[in-house]
């Protein structure tokens, strides 16, 4: 393993009391969106919330993460599975890429089974853009149940 990939994680403020257990387990196990780092060392250099709708922290948190060496910002899976999913998600992604020149990955841990079932029933993720987003997070049922 060479130099580590340095990442930051931004979670939805609805879950501001989340201790990050699922995200950190997925990072450790390289599950979900973190499977992209299967053969790499990763350093987590920032973890915060968006600060609530409409995401006031999105303007500033990535800058601090970048000063700490972050190359990639991950939006936590909660921004995808909460209901409704974050209505600003794609704007946040585009802003961070444009303003800070950082890669942005939507998702951290695999989607828990209960959320998968709900959003499948509701048809939440049927557009091509959403299909691309959830692809690394859907995994298989056993993995989704492990994150429920």
CA–CA separation, 23 vs 9, rounded Å? 9
Segment 105-139, tens digit of pLDDT: 999 999 999 999 999 999 999 999 999 999 999 99
pLDDT on residue 64: 97
| Reported pTM | 0.95
Q: How confident is the model at residue 2 (pLDDT cuts 50, 70, 90)?
A: confident
CA–CA separation, 24 vs 19, rounded Å? 9
What domains lie within the chain, and their CATH numbers?
5-146 (3.40.50)
Structure tokens at 17: 């009391």
CA–CA separation, 133 vs 68, rounded Å? 26
Segment 37-95, tens digit of pLDDT: 999 999 999 999 999 999 999 999 999 999 999 999 999 999 999 999 999 999 999 99
Closest CA to 133 of 73, 79, 84: 79
Beta-bridge partners for 68: none
CA angle 21, 26, 30 (to 5 degrees): 155
Closest CA to 113 of 147, 82, 79: 147
pLDDT on residue 1: 52
């Amino acid at each position: 393993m060479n130099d580590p990939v340095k990442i930051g994680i931004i979670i939805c403020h609805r879950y501001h009391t989340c201790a990050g257990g699922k995200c950190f387990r997925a990072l450790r196990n390289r599950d979900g969106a973190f499977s992209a780092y299967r053969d790499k060392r990763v350093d987590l250099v920032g973890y915060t919330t968006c600060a609530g709708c409409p995401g006031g922290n999105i303007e500033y948190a990535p800058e601090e993460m970048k000063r700490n060496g972050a190359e990639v910002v991950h939006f936590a899976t909660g921004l995808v599975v909460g209901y409704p999913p974050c209505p600003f998600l794609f704007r946040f992604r585009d802003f961070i890429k444009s303003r800070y020149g950082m890669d942005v990955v939507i998702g951290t841990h695999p989607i828990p089974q209960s959320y998968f079932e709900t959003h499948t029933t509701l048809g939440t993720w049927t557009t091509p853009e959403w299909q691309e987003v959830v692809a690394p997070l859907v995994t298989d049922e056993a993995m989704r149940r492990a994150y429920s």
